């Protein structure tokens, strides 16, 4: 692996002393380390000791006038190949999850589009607190990689999860980040979000899909090395970091974008595409008139999944559809797989009481030619990771 530039942010916890060993391992592996110490971290390790090991200037203050004349904090945040935060304290994680930027470290983390890896470290009760777990889920959903924490004795005398991962484990995570994944060299197409079918210039037909599952799938595939083309309708979820993104509005626009993205090794059709569009959509806003409701004429939208699954040319080797159902989920999804001609169907129950449509979790059944496989209720990020790994195995 070639040398990489690592921006190392050291948070203020007793585990900060491990950052010295981490710097030694990173530089020993040939990486250049630019250190940033929070004000609290300087109570545990000194800038002098960190600078001596990193052989680079240690950054501590946001308002360094010389650097700020050239927007130094922006340059720092974007010149690295990877940002590592170790230890990532509960406070730093909370700042990252809520977008606070009140010091150099949190500003760097907010101003960057560079991948971020965190190594959490804190008291076991702080780690188990619902607020920290909510922040952790938010960070994972934002594409932040996490290593640790481990379980063990705490400096406070308690025992449990919260010990920072050992420096060797963090180095291994850094190495894995830069190592080719099982999908390196593969092109994967992912569709996501709803489509909006206009009624007039201000109204449209849509559904409740947030696009969160599609974003999570695209990012999980990217992390395994795939070259991802991401075609999305007007989703409310953040767009994935890494893939090429094409924004569309209607089902017909989505089909055009999908066909333009082919060929692909796999295509994952996660978008909740509207079944119909309004033929007589008005060029100006329809007015509420006395004497009745406006008549809307509907026509079927193109079936994007079936169109691609039944192609004779440029058909992806693996075509995966999604089936959002409210009753008889497995039966309807199994029939859909046969009807559409796709290889797999990922089925889920989107009844209102499940909270899945637009929520942060999913409970799916993977349907293949071998049958139905129920997965436990997981976050959408974990569901995406599991699906991405299965795709990698299928394309191996």
CATH code, domain with 294: 3.40.50.10300
pLDDT band at 351 (very low <50, low <70, confident <90, very high): confident
Read off the pLDDT of each residue in 172-176 and give the average, rounded to a whole number.
88
Q: What is the pTM of this model?
A: 0.63
Q: Is 327 a residue whose pLDDT tops 70?
A: yes
Strand 364-368, strand 344-349: pairing: antiparallel
Point out the domain boundary residue: 144, 178, 212: 178
Task: Please tell me whether 171 is known to bind a ligand.
Answer: no
Point out the domain boundary residue: 121, 149, 178: 178
Is residue 201 located within the same domain as residue 112?
no
Is residue 203 located within the same domain as residue 89?
no
CATH number at residue 31: 3.40.50.1950
Q: What is the pLDDT of residue 290?
A: 63
118-152 in b/e form (b: 16+ CB < 10 A) is bbbbbbbebbeeeebeebbbbbbbbbbbbbbbeee
Least confident of 32-36, 88-92, 221-225, 314-318: 221-225
Higher pLDDT, 47 or 1: 47
Read off the pLDDT of each residue in 269-285 and give the average, rounded to a whole number.
92
Task: Please tell me whether 287 is known to bind a ligand.
Answer: no
Domain count, the chain: 2
Is residue 156 located within the same domain as residue 193?
no
Rounded to an integer, what is the distance from CA 310 to the centroid of its chain? 30
Question: 258 near 191, Cβ under 8 Å?
Answer: yes
Q: Is 230 a residue whose pLDDT tops 50?
A: yes
Task: Please tell me whether 322 is known to bind a ligand.
Answer: yes
Point out the domain boundary residue: 178, 211, 244: 178
253-281 in b/e form (b: 16+ CB < 10 A) is bbbbbbeebbebbbbbbbbbbbeebbeeb
Is residue 120 located within the same domain as residue 245?
no
Is residue 192 located within the same domain as residue 240?
yes
- Catalytic pick among 52, 131, 155, 156: 156
Is residue 145 located within the same domain as residue 46?
yes
Helix, strand or coil, per DSSP, at residue 370: coil
Is residue 255 located within the same domain as residue 148?
no
Rg (CA), the chain: 24
Helix axes 167-178, 18-28, angle to 10 degrees: 40
Is residue 238 located within the same domain as residue 120?
no
How far are the Cα atoms of 23, 40, 63, 306, 378 from residue 90, in angstroms, in the given order?
22, 13, 24, 47, 23
The C-alpha angle with vertex 27 and arms to 24 and 28, in degrees rounded to 5, equals: 75
Task: Please tell me whether 128 is known to bind a ligand.
Answer: no
Strand 266-269, strand 318-325: pairing: parallel
Is residue 142 located within the same domain as residue 263?
no
Is residue 390 located within the same domain as residue 311?
yes
For residue range 361-392, list pLDDT tens digits in order.
888 999 999 999 999 888 888 899 999 999 99
Is residue 138 located within the same domain as residue 259?
no
Chain length of the chain: 396
Read off the pLDDT of each residue in 58-85 and give the average, rounded to a whole number.
74
Is residue 69 located within the same domain as residue 161?
yes
What's the rounded Cα separation, in Å, for the pair 7 and 84? 6
How many C-beta neighbours within 10 Å does residue 339 have? Answer: 12
- Residue 156 appears among annotated catalytic residues: yes
- In the chain, which ranges are continuous DSSP H helix? 18-28, 47-54, 65-68, 72-79, 90-98, 104-110, 124-128, 130-141, 167-178, 212-223, 251-261, 304-309, 329-340, 380-395
Q: Which domain holds residue 75?
A: 5-178
pLDDT band at 65 (very low <50, low <70, confident <90, very high): very low
Question: 267 near 281, Cβ under 8 Å?
Answer: no
């Amino acid at each position: 692996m070639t040398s990489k530039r690592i921006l190392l942010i050291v948070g203020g916890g007793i585990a900060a002393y491990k950052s010295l060993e981490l710097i030694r391992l990173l530089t020993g592996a040939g990486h250049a380390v630019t250190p940033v110490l929070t004000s609290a971290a300087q109570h545990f390790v000194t800038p002098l000791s960190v600078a001596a090991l990193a052989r680079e200037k240690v950054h501590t203050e946001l308002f360094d006038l010389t650097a700020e004349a050239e927007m130094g904090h922006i340059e720092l945040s974007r010149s690295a190949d990877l940002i590592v935060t170790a230890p990532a304290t509960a406070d730093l994680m909370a700042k990252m999850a809520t977008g606070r930027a009140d010091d150099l470290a949190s500003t760097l983390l907010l101003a960057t589009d560079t991948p971020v890896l965190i190594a959490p470290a804190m008291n076991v009760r702080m780690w188990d607190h619902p607020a920290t777990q909510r922040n952790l889920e938010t960070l994972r959903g934002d594409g932040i990689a996490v290593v640790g924490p481990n379980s063990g004795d705490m400096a406070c005398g308690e025992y449990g999860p919260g010990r920072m991962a050992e420096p060797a484990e963090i180095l291994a995570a850094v190495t894995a980040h830069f190592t080719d994944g099982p999908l390196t060299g593969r092109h994967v197409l992912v569709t996501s979000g709803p489509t909006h079918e206009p009624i007039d210039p201000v109204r449209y037909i849509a559904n409740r899909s947030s696009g969160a599952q599609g974003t999570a799938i695209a990012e999980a595939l990217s992390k395994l090395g795939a070259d991802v083309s991401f075609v999305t309708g007007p989703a409310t979820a953040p767009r994935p970091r890494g893939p090429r993104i094409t924004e569309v509005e209607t089902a017909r626009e989505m089909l055009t974008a999908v066909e333009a993205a082919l060929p692909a090794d796999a295509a994952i059709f996660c978008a909740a595409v509207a079944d119909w569009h309004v033929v007589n959509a008005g060029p100006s806003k329809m007015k509420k008139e006395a004497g009745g409701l406006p008549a809307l004429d509907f026509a079927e939208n193109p079936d994007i999944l079936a169109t691609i699954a039944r192609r004779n040319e440029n058909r992806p080797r693996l075509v995966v559809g999604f089936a959002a159902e409210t009753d008889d989920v497995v039966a309807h999804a199994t029939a859909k797989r046969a009807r559409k001609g796709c290889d797999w169907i990922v089925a889920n129950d989107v009844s209102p009481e499940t909270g899945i449509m637009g929520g942060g979790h999913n409970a799916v059944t993977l349907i293949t030619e071998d049958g139905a496989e129920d997965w436990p209720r997981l976050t959408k990020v974990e569901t995406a990771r599991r699906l991405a790994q299965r795709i990698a195995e299928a394309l191996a």
